[in-house]
Each structure stands twice: as C-alpha cells, then as structure tokens.
Homo-oligomer: A and B are copies of this chain.
C-alpha cells in the first residue's frame, strides 16, 4: 500500500477553550508559556496529540493536567488548519471548549501551573489564532446555551436562582427579567429546591437548588427542547 506512504503528515494539536464562572463573571483559562515556542506569551491550554490517543483523549489529558478535573463537559469546536496559522510548523489544531466549576482547589492547581483566569471581555492577546478560537467558542456556547442547560456545568452543585440568572446574563451579555427567568427555569422541572439558603450575597438569603440530572436525561430523550 504505497498510497499511504506518499501522503503528507501533520502535527496535530488540541487547544482547549476552558470557561469558568466566578464572582459573577464568565472567565477564560489562559496559560503563560514557560518554554519555547512562544515563551512568555499567553495561550490557550494545548498540547500535541500523541499517536496512541484520540483527539478527545488528548484534550482530557491536558484538562486533567491543568485543573485536576476529569469528567468535564467538553465538546469539539472545530479544526483550525490554515497553512500559515503557525509560522513555525505546519500544524492542525482541533479546538475544544470546556465548561468547568471553579473552586478553591482548582484555583490552586491552576496557579501552580502558571495559568490564570481572565474575564471574558478582557482577554489579552494570545498566540497564533487563539483569540479567534476564543471568540468562536463564545459564540458557540451562546448558541448551545439557548437549547441545552449547559449553564449548570459552570455553577457549583448547589446554586441559587439569582446566581443562575447572572450566569445566563453573562453568556447572553444582556439583562433578563428575574420573574420571567425564574418562571421559565422552574417550568423545565429540572432543578430541585433544597432546604438551605445561601446568605453570602444578601441578608434575606436565597434558596439553594440542585440540578436534577436524571430528570434532565429523561426529558432530553423525549426530545424536549430547553429553550432558555
């Protein structure tokens, strides 16, 4: 089978656009590169794909390395393959976007790795086409969020409705009516009210809820559309 041997081969990379939500802001994880190429520049979290792993495997590997997390919501965005996208070498990158719950432990790991969270509307210049990837991922999430309850991936397991609303406002970049938002979210019947309140952001306190994964799966299988 000579056919194959005459063909060109490529470096294949994955770059992960990792979103988190903290202090009412949507954030992106960026990495300060300690080694060449692009030493001391900022980039997304990425890696070359190894011959013995799939693209998805590679993304999981580096996500775990940089956050310690497994089983994270992560989807393929698209491939970036312009001939001149990397001036050094011919390399194709498959971008992946991920949504994670920021907590103290993750913040610690992230810091140790020389990465940091930056607000989504203050993303600095990143290397290569990584700013483009970020923009594309944001648009994708905005679209996805309209039909799937992805927001829950970014919040702690227990969350309040006002926090959920703040997240959707960050994703859509517009204000929502609190009465209508609450009505709609509750009408989906996929969040469960708990007997606890969160008093960190008001004196009255807001009831905590949790996401009902089982019920969500069931409704999803029935073709239910969660248009938020």
Q: Are B49 and A81 in contact (CB under 8 A)?
A: yes
Q: Which of B3, B37, B81 is within 8 Å of A56, CB to CB?
A: B81
A182 at the binding interface (Cβ < 8 Å): no
Binds B, one of A9-17, A18-26, A110-118, A120-128: A9-17
Q: Which of B4, B52, B76, B78 is within 8 Å of A11, CB to CB?
A: B4
Oligomer: number of copies: 2
Task: Kindly provide the distance from the CB of A15 to the nearest chain B CB, expressed in whole angstroms.
Answer: 13
In whole angstroms, what is the CA distance A147 to B42 when docked? Answer: 36
Contacts A76-B78, A83-B52 known; A7 to B11 CB distance under 8 Å? yes
What are 23 contact pairs spanning A and B, CB under 8 A? A1-B36, A1-B37, A3-B36, A4-B88, A4-B89, A7-B11, A8-B12, A8-B49, A8-B50, A9-B9, A9-B10, A10-B10, A10-B11, A10-B12, A12-B12, A53-B83, A54-B81, A54-B82, A55-B79, A55-B81, A76-B78, A79-B79, A81-B94
User: What are the nearest 4 A-B pairs in CB distance?
Assistant: A9-B9, A8-B51, A55-B81, A54-B81
